[in-house]
Every structure is written in structure tokens, then in C-alpha cells.
């Protein structure tokens, strides 16, 4: 068995254990008022408990969204609980290297292999006027995964025009400067998260990974960003970071149009030792943004959920299915509208559970 096989086996075991624990917990919870699998109750009881919201979240998660459930509901007290420590060779391609994949006519997976939880995802969206890269990975993996991945897919990295940063954590913006310096790509980021990453860099005394300010364009809440034949609807949804950006975009599967959504930040913004009020405010902010984006996803009719980490959308598993896909087979990334909204139901219910824990 290779090291990669060992990692895959461990990940599957971890997922199976998480699912088993989830369903054991749900069996012990009381579910009141749900109208169907994953559906949120028509009216939330005034005295709703943590277990009540976790039941709602667990039903919405099912198997498709177990990664988001584990990141939020399972870590209400400590967002880092249970996270696997990065391997010593985390910067080696032997750890993060993953084959790119064409998942839609105009969308390509360029993310890292999920050897551990912090391995980020990245996508390329092709348009009639160039490529938009969704998140830039780490500075040590951007060339191999994004640039190399585009070339493996028969695309020219020189066509990269923009890099859309979902939020200001280094696993998502770390490779942006490389793409700016080599392809003159413009970075799209919210002003709040631009300030956030600069403040953190100043505090640490390390600004080596910051994007070039001369090639940065700020995203405003509600912006419609168009490149060629493709328009993104962009929303600032604070919670994971002060200026997390979530969005929708059109995708096509063998010519059939779909709407994809991206929830820009999944984890909760506090530490295990954070003050009680800080934790409560973090849950509230996340919940407000999740409620809002759920309405946006619903109104848009989104039936695809893309994510900025492999484990959040089961990219490794779905890409394997795509590699074996036969004519007429469904695209595993197309969830349907109900399951896509359920992704946001998990985010809403888990953050509501967090707030209820302070009652």
C-alpha cells in the first residue's frame, strides 16, 4: 500500500466514523415538525434546543454535506477540535498533488488532494474572454496544481485574467501573488478581507504572501462581475472571516445550464479559549450570513454546490465518478435544488445550535 493509499483509507475510515457518530446522535435527538429529509421546520419552536437544531442540520447534511456538518455542528465548542495535524511533508507534491478534472463544460477542478483538512480547493472557470481562477491555494502548490493543472487540461495559464478569493486565509490567497507576477492576473477580494490579511501580516511581521496591491480589485456586496459570456453574482457574507465572499455562477453540463453556488467560508471564527461573548457574536454573524445566502441560493435556483475544500464537496470521490461517467450518466456535482439548499440549511442550523448553547 502506498502512502497515498494509506491516506485515502484513513480518510474513508474517518468519514465512516463521523457518519456513524452522527446517526447515533440523531437517533437520540427529538425531531419535531420536519416535513421531509433535510427540510427545516416551518416554524422553529421558541424553546428550540441545541439537539433540535443539530437534528435539523444532520438531516440536511445526509452524506452529501457531512464535511460541512463536521466543520460546524461537530465543533461548536472548538473549531479546531479533531483536526488532523498536517504531515511533516505538507509542502511536498506527494502530499497535495491531485489530478485536475473537468467537472462541467466551463469548470475545472484544480484543488489539492485532501491529505489533511486544510488542503484547499481551487477551480478554473473558462469564459469567452479568459479564465477566472477561484481561490489560489498555497504559494508552494499554486504552480503545480493550478498552472500545471490547466496545462494538463489543455488550457493556457496565460489566459488567466482574474483570481477570485473567497476569504482571507493563506490557503486560499497564498498563491495569488504568483499568478499576478506570472500572468498579470487581477485579484478580486472584499475590502474587509484585504484589510484583514494586511492586519494579520503586520501583526506577524511577515508580508511575504500578500498579493500585489497594484493588481487588486475590491468586491462590493451585490456586485455582478462579468467576464465575456459569464456573470458572477457576488455577496459579502461575513462569518468565517470579516469579508468572506460567497457567490453564484452559471455552469453547463453537456450544454445543459445549471446554477452553481459557493459558500465562501465554512468554519466558525473563534478559538476554544475565546470569551463567551465573542463566541456568541461569531455564531450570530455566521447565522445571519448563512440565512441570507440560503435565500439567495433558493431564489437563484442553484442546483450545484462547489466548495473551497475538497472534503466539503467530496471532490475526490466525485471526480472519480466523472472519470468513469458514461453517456447518460448524471453528473455527481449536480445535486438538485433541494440538496443544494440543504447545504445552507446545515450552515444555518449548526450556527443556530451554537447560539442555543448559550441559552
- Over residues 4-27, the pLDDT tens digits come to 544 444 444 344 334 333 333 333
Q: pLDDT tens-digit profile of 313-358?
A: 999 999 999 999 999 999 999 999 999 999 999 999 999 999 999 8
Beta-carbon contacts of residue 78 (< 8 Å; ≥ 6 apart) = 271, 272
Q: How many CB atoms lie within 10 A of CB 295?
A: 12
Other beta carbons within 10 Å of 337: 15
Question: Does residue 207 lie in a domain region?
Answer: yes
Q: What is the mean pLDDT of residues 29-33?
A: 35
237's CB contacts (< 8 A; 6+ apart) are: 244, 245, 246, 263, 264, 265, 289, 290, 292, 293
The β-bridge partners of 188 are 164, 217
Q: Would residue 10 count as lying in a domain? A: no
From residue 289, give the alpha-carbon distance in Å to each of 155, 202, 237, 298: 35, 28, 5, 14
Measured between alpha carbons, how far is residue 136 from residues 47, 132, 282 in Å? 43, 11, 26
Q: Is 79 part of any domain?
A: no
339 in any annotated domain: yes
Is it the case that residue 84 has pLDDT exceeding 90?
no
Question: Is 258 inside a domain boundary?
Answer: yes
The C-alpha cell at 117 is 483538512
Domain that holds residue 244: 93-343
6 in a structural domain:
no
Q: Which residues contact 241 (CB under 8 A, 6 or more apart)?
A: 167, 168, 169, 192, 193, 196, 265, 269
Q: Give the lowest-confidence range in 46-50, 68-72, 183-187.
A: 46-50
Structural domain contains residue 313: yes
Three-class secondary structure of residue 103 per DSSP? strand
Total domains present in the chain: 1
User: Grid coordinates standing for 92?
Assistant: 511536498
pTM of this structure:
0.88
3-class DSSP assignment, residue 356: helix
pLDDT digits (tens, 9 = 90+) for 270-327: 888 889 999 999 999 999 999 999 999 999 999 999 999 999 999 999 999 999 999 9
Domain CATH number, residue 135: 3.60.15.10
Determine the Cα–Cα distance for residues 114 and 67; give it in Å rounded to an integer.
12
Whether 213 maps to a domain, the answer reads yes
Amino acid at each position: 500500500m502506498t502512502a497515498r493509499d494509506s491516506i485515502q483509507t484513513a480518510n474513508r475510515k474517518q468519514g465512516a466514523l463521523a457518519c456513524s457518530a452522527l446517526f447515533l446522535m440523531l437517533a437520540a435527538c427529538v425531531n419535531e415538525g420536519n416535513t421531509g429529509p433535510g427540510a427545516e421546520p416551518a416554524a422553529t419552536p421558541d424553546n428550540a434546543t441545541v439537539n433540535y437544531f443539530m437534528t435539523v442540520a444532520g438531516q440536511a447534511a445526509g452524506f452529501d454535506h457531512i464535511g460541512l456538518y463536521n466543520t460546524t455542528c461537530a465543533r461548536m465548542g472548538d473549531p479546531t477540535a479533531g483536526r488532523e495535524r498536517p504531515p511533516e511533508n505538507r509542502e511536498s507534491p506527494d502530499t497535495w498533488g491531485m489530478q485536475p478534472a473537468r467537472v462541467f463544460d466551463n469548470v475545472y477542478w484544480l484543488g489539492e488532494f485532501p491529505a489533511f483538512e486544510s488542503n484547499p480547493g481551487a477551480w478554473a472557470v473558462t469564459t469567452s474572454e479568459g479564465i477566472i481562477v477561484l481561490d489560489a491555494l498555497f504559494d508552494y502548490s499554486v504552480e503545480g496544481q493550478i498552472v500545471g493543472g490547466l496545462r494538463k487540461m489543455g488550457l493556457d495559464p496565460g489566459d488567466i485574467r482574474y483570481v477570485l478569493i473567497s476569504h482571507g486565509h493563506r490557503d486560499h490567497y497564498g498563491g495569488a501573488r504568483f499568478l499576478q507576477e506570472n500572468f498579470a492576473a487581477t485579484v478580486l477580494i472584499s475590502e474587509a478581507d484585504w484589510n484583514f490579511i494586511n492586519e494579520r501580516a503586520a501583526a506577524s511581521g511577515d508580508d511575504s504572501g500578500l498579493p500585489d496591491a497594484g493588481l487588486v480589485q475590491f468586491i462590493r456586496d451585490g456586485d455582478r462581475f462579468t467576464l465575456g459570456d459569464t456573470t458572477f453574482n457576488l455577496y459579502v457574507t461575513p462569518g468565517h472571516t470579516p469579508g468572506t465572499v460567497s457567490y453564484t455562477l452559471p455552469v453547463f453540463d453537456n450544454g445543459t445550464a445549471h446554477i452553481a453556488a459557493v459558500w465562501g467560508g465554512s468554519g466558525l471564527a473563534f478559538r476554544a479559549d475565546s470569551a463567551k461573548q465573542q463566541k456568541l457574536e461569531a455564531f450570530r454573524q455566521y447565522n445571519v450570513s448563512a440565512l441570507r445566502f440560503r435565500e439567495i441560493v433558493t431564489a437563484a435556483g442553484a442546483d450545484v454546490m462547489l466548495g473551497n475544500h475538497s472534503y466539503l464537496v467530496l471532490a475526490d470521490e466525485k471526480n472519480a465518478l466523472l472519470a468513469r461517467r458514461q453517456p447518460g450518466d448524471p453528473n455527481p456535482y449536480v445535486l438538485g435544488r433541494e440538496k443544494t439548499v440543504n447545504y445552507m440549511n446545515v450552515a444555518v442550523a449548526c450556527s443556530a445550535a451554537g447560539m442555543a448553547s448559550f441559552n
